[in-house]
Chain A
Amino acid sequence: MEPAPPILHVENLRTQFPTETGLVKAVDGASFSVSRGKTVCVVGESGCGKSVTGRSILQIVDRPGQVVGGRILWRPNDAHEPTDLAALDPRGDEIRRIRGNEIAMVFQEPMTSLSPVHTIGSQIVEAIRLHTDLDADAARARTIEVLEHVGLPRPADRFGAYTFQLSGGMRQRAMIAMALACDPRLLIADEPTTALDVTTQAQILRLLARLQAEMEMSVLFVTHDMGVVAQIADEVVVMYLGTVVETGPTEQIFAEPRHPYTRALLDAIPRVGQRRRGRRLATIRGSVPGPHSRPTGCPFHPRCDYARPGTCDTREPATVALGARRHVRCVLAEEEVAVG
């Protein structure tokens, strides 16, 4: 049987920022897909192009950055042909009708990502009225309903609250309510818990998992935290310097990581009691190179324990399929496949 087509299929996406110091290739040939009703985690260190990938899907990268290549096939409905979001005009009406309606986004910093001078209620009402025919009263009622749905206590009173009157956790709930107000089919969450304390973080993660199940949404969840990935992901997309280095179902990624970068990320997860047993937390050697000093060949080779001089530093590895939904972009995997 032919597997159902994914709701989102990103293919060879390239997003660039022309800057005064040169061209920043923030996303440089990324490919992955999100299955209907699943949670996919995009993981990688800071600066690897995760946020830009998420924003590229909605065509909201900061100017002068723009999507310069690849396809973003959006298929909210099995029966219809997909729309290529990458081909839409970022300022046009078509993409606007999708934003906040079919695909919604939650950002990292609810304090700065919500307007400080508008009440949270009015910001949510605005999204509802933009995409539905509801009148002001109905939109208000709907807003209070979603605020309640995301677990904000006393939602009717909080309708008129400003961001500075709410705690960090409540702000993020308001932000999530805003994203969910129009029943999106895909939710892109860009590190929605990074700015929160551990307890609140766990609450928000549980909330997102619950909402996803209730609303049968697909979720693209951006994080740099492998611990979070283990908690919520069905599938994982590992990014390094604008490229996707490995994808696969969560259990396989954790049990059998095939890319040295994925292994390094897994080794760096802090474990309970580790400190007591006197072991140092493993960190990944070196750091992510700046956007202007992108290495030649495999972007990870300068930090890779398995790098082969003469190969890894000269040519870009090909992405090889190891299974139905399992891809690795590494010379070692290439050889395995060739031998096997």
Chain B
Amino acid sequence: MMTQFIVRRVLYMIPTLIAISIVTFLIIQAPPGDYLTTVVAKLEAEGAYVDRSQLDALRERYGLDDPLWSQYWTWISGIVTEGDFGRSLVYDAPVADVIQDRMGFTILLSLSTLAFVWAVAIPIGMYSAVKRYSIGDYAATFVGFLGLAIPNFLFALVLLYVSHRYFGQSVGGLFSPEYEDARWNLGKLLDLLAHVWIPVIIIGTAGTAGMIRIVRANLLDELNRPYVTTARAKGLPERRLLVRYPSRIAASPIVSTIGWLLPSLISAEIIVSVVLSLPTTGPVMLKALESQDMYLAGGFLLILSVLTVIGTLISDILLARLDPRIRYGKR
């Protein structure tokens, strides 16, 4: 049953991915002129001589005189077969190379943030629901709204100040200067951990505040359901009861947020990474958009969209595991 469900979901992903790649390609093509026009403009602005034959070679290479659908085909088949996303204009390097290093940090940061959001929000939300209208519940609500209200950049600056002033850490980045270019070892890992908590807290705080509200509301909905009373009438201890019955069902709407949480974390990451000068995709994405480096921007867009689709797939699979009604198509 489960395998069949997963296969079906993976098959559904294919048309979605194709649609996404087409839309991304159209976005790349949207600015007037083509990629080479931008290159020539840039080179001529620098006063460089543009070699006609070199230009033609590039034209040939990117198939720029071909019809749009054929260009799309060249672009997408390059990506699918060779991982060739085209060339970045700004960095003067293959897009794949520019993205590669940074994508790892972005994913690391996003997953750490996700873990942080859940580790903090789920216990607090559950506590708030079970002890509704207690002092602890009111305190969680208050701190939660505070977290939602403080702008990320302000929070970033405050935390930077605190970490520099009281922990003596280097400002910004994910590494201290001495580890910046070092090879990976335990020291570098620890250094990363010492730095990564700042962006994680900054990016995660608003999400945590929202998630506390979601967890609380979902659990409150379930706490007085008849099946909970039944479980209590069996003689289950309260704690086990809470984890096994209402939480299991209240978890479904939370799991279903995984899909869209990823893009929202990444977009929150852009601003924070610029402020903290982190080696993630955020600042590069911003730069690519500013300078119309469309292959680079398109590559990012495509990868992020694909990650979102994968996140949705993961959340669907988890949901089906949590709720047999989904597995059996009853819902």
Query: A interface vs B, CB < 8 Å?
Result: 55, 58, 60, 62-63, 91, 96-101, 104-105, 107, 109, 112-117, 123, 126-127, 130-131, 162, 164-165, 175, 178
| Chain A residue at minimal CB-CB distance from B330 | A164
Q: Known contacts A112-B225, A112-B226, A164-B330: does B233 contact A117 (CB below 8 Å)?
A: no
Query: Is the beta-carbon distance between B229 and A113 smaller than 8 angstroms?
Result: yes
CA of A60 to CA of B230, assembled, Å: 9
**Residue from B226, B235, B237, B328 within 8 A of A98 (CB atoms):** B235
**Residue from B229, B230, B324, B330 within 8 A of A62 (CB atoms):** B229
Query: Is the beta-carbon distance between B229 and A115 smaller than 8 angstroms?
Result: no
Residues of chain A within 8 A (CB-CB) of B245 are 115
CA of A55 to CA of B229, assembled, Å: 9
**Residue from B231, B235, B325 within 8 A of A117 (CB atoms):** B325
Residues of chain B within 8 A (CB-CB) of A96 are 235-237
Q: Mark B303-326, 1 if CB is under 8 A from A, else 0.
A: 000000000000000000011110
A-B pairs with beta carbons under 8 Å apart, 24 shown: A55-B229, A58-B233, A96-B237, A99-B234, A104-B233, A105-B230, A105-B233, A107-B229, A113-B229, A114-B230, A115-B227, A115-B230, A115-B231, A115-B248, A115-B249, A116-B325, A126-B234, A126-B236, A126-B244, A127-B235, A162-B324, A162-B328, A164-B325, A178-B234
Query: Is the beta-carbon distance between B227 and A60 smaller than 8 angstroms?
Result: no
B65 is an interface residue with CB less than 8 A from chain A:
no
State the majority secondary structure of interface residues on B. Answer: helix
Query: Is the beta-carbon distance between A113 and B323 smaller than 8 angstroms?
Result: no
Query: Is the beta-carbon distance between B229 and A164 smaller than 8 angstroms?
Result: no
Number of A-B contacts (CB under 8 A): 78
Interface residues of B in 192-209 (CB under 8 A from A): none
CA of A28 to CA of B322, assembled, Å: 42
| Chain A residue at minimal CB-CB distance from B326 | A117
B224 is an interface residue with CB less than 8 A from chain A:
yes
CA of A175 to CA of B227, assembled, Å: 11
**Residue from B224, B235, B249, B323 within 8 A of A99 (CB atoms):** B235
Residues of chain B within 8 A (CB-CB) of A100 are 233-235
Residues of chain B within 8 A (CB-CB) of A60 are 229, 232-233
Query: Is the beta-carbon distance between A117 and B322 smaller than 8 angstroms?
Result: yes
Residues of chain B within 8 A (CB-CB) of A97 are 235
Query: Is the beta-carbon distance between B225 and A101 smaller than 8 angstroms?
Result: no
Residues of chain B within 8 A (CB-CB) of A62 are 224, 229
Q: Mark B203-247, 1 if CB is under 8 A from A, else 0.
A: 000000000000000000000111101111111111000001100
CA of A114 to CA of B229, assembled, Å: 9
Residues of chain A within 8 A (CB-CB) of B236 are 96, 126, 130
